[in-house]
């Protein structure tokens, strides 16, 4: 039985997530259901894209991913199901798969068309779960939708490279649990454009000329522990998802703050890299 994952902006207080799991278990008693996140900022498609892209790859091929963010069906917001990289995704066509499709072409996309049989104000429960269970039982995408080739893309997920290939301009697309500010600039793009040149990263009024391999690289372990400058130091690094990230070492967003608050690097802030 394949795994079914859930990525939503429903929060974990309301009954929504429990109702979805109950419905899946009612149809598939042996289901394995995994929560990826229910704490997506309401209606935030960029956050959804970032979390989904970084989580799905760890699951086995054949996993089915339900994404419930801004999923009300209307003229501008169709429901789609797709197969990509051996995984299935069931979601609204609102651009949240942009980060996936910018790296890997979908094998197949359908626009879900079982709605004429279902009138609902809770489509994730009534439509997406039904589609997921259909796929889990071995059903094909063609039975629950019609093949399509175009789908929405969101632009803010893509950084831009200057014509002379000497600079990259990106944005903060995600703030993580520690207040780290994560950009849309991947390690691959950085290396492809930089080709090993020295560089300066500028974000707000802060400048970084080095990219660290891990957070504690900024600590000088040759000093005794009580003389080390540690907490509160800022650094740039590629995070485990291979995106450029600005961090404050051992920050705490709920007390002293993190890079997002202390350096003013909020969602959508601009960050630029100049290569020499």
Within 91-150, which residues bind a copy of itself (CB under 8 A)? 120-122, 125
The minimum distance between CB 161 and a copy of itself, in angstroms, equals 25
Q: Does 196 help bind a copy of itself (rule: CB under 8 A)?
A: no
Sole window of 30-38, 78-86, 91-99, 193-201 interacting with a copy of itself (rule: CB under 8 A): 30-38
Asked whether 220 and 228 are in contact (CB, 8 A), the reply is yes
Q: In angstroms, rounded to a whole number, what is the distance separating the alpha carbons of residues 41 and 223?
A: 42
Closest contact distance (angstroms) between CB of 253 and a copy of itself is: 8
Distance CA 275, CA 238 (A): 17
Beta-strand (E) ranges in 118-239? 145-148, 160-161, 167-175, 181-186, 199-203, 206-208, 234-238
Q: Which of 155, 195, 209, 213 binds a copy of itself (CB under 8 A)?
A: 213
- In whole angstroms, the minimum distance from the beta carbon of 153 to a copy of itself comes to 15
Question: Which residues sit opposite 168 in a β-bridge?
Answer: 161, 273
Pick between residue 77 and residue 169 the one whose CB is nearest to a copy of itself: 77
Instruction: Please tell me whether residue 264 binds a copy of itself under the rule CB under 8 A.
Output: no
Q: Does 232 sit near a copy of itself (CB under 8 A)?
A: no
Is the separation of the CB atoms in 173 and 50 below 8 Å?
yes
Judge residue 98's burial from the number of C-beta atoms within 10 Å of its C-beta, 0-12 exposed, 13-18 middle, 19 or more buried: buried
Give the range of 137-145, 154-162, 164-172, 248-256 binding a copy of itself by CB under 8 A: 248-256
Beta carbon nearer to a copy of itself, 58 or 227: 58
Report 54-93 residues binding a copy of itself (CB under 8 A). Answer: 54-60, 63, 70, 72-77
Which of these ranges, 53-61, 95-103, 150-158, 189-197, lies near a copy of itself under the rule CB under 8 A?
53-61
Q: Please tell me whether residue 218 binds a copy of itself under the rule CB under 8 A.
A: no
Q: Which of 108, 115, 234, 250 is in the footprint of a copy of itself by CB under 8 A?
A: 250
Are 65 and 56 spatial neighbours (Cβ–Cβ below 8 Å)?
Answer: yes
> Distances from the Cα of 3 to the Cαs of 8, 12, 52, 61, in angstroms?
16, 20, 15, 9
* Nearest-approach distance from CB 58 to a copy of itself, in angstroms: 3
Contact call for residues 258 and 177 (beta carbons, < 8 A)? no
Whole-angstrom distance, CA of residue 59 vs CA of residue 167: 35
Among 117, 155, 209, 254, binds a copy of itself (CB under 8 A): 254
Closest approach of Cβ 24 to a copy of itself, in Å? 9
CB 5 within 8 A of CB 64: yes
Q: How many residues at the interface with a copy of itself, by CB under 8 A? A: 74
């Amino acid at each position: 039985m394949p795994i079914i994952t859930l990525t939503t902006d429903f929060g974990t207080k309301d009954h929504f997530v429990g109702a979805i799991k109950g419905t899946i278990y009612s149809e598939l008693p042996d289901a394995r259901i995994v929560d990826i996140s229910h704490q997506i900022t309401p209606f935030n498609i960029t956050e959804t894209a970032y979390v989904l892209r970084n989580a799905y790859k760890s699951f086995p091929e054949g996993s089915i991913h339900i994404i419930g963010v801004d999923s009300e069906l209307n003229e501008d917001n169709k429901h789609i199901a797709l197969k990509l990289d051996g995984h299935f995704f069931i979601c609204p066509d609102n651009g949240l798969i942009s980060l996936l499709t910018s790296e890997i072409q979908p094998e197949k996309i359908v626009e879900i068309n079982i709605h004429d049989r279902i009138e609902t104000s809770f489509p994730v429960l009534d439509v997406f779960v039904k589609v997921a269970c259909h796929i889990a039982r071995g059903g094909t995408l063609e039975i629950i939708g019609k093949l399509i080739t175009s789908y929405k893309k969101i632009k803010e997920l893509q950084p831009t490279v200057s014509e002379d290939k000497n600079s990259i301009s990106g944005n903060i697309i995600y703030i993580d649990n520690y207040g780290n500010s994560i950009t849309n600039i991947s390690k691959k793009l950085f290396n492809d454009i930089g080709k090993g040149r020295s560089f300066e990263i500028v974000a707000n009024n802060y400048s970084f000329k080095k990219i660290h391999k891990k957070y504690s690289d900024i600590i000088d372990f040759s000093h005794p522990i009580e003389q080390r400058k540690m907490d509160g130091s800022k650094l740039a690094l590629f995070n485990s998802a291979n995106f450029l990230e600005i961090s404050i070492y051992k920050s705490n967003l709920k007390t002293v703050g993190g890079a997002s608050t202390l350096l003013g690097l909020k969602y959508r802030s601009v960050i630029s890299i100049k290569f020499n």
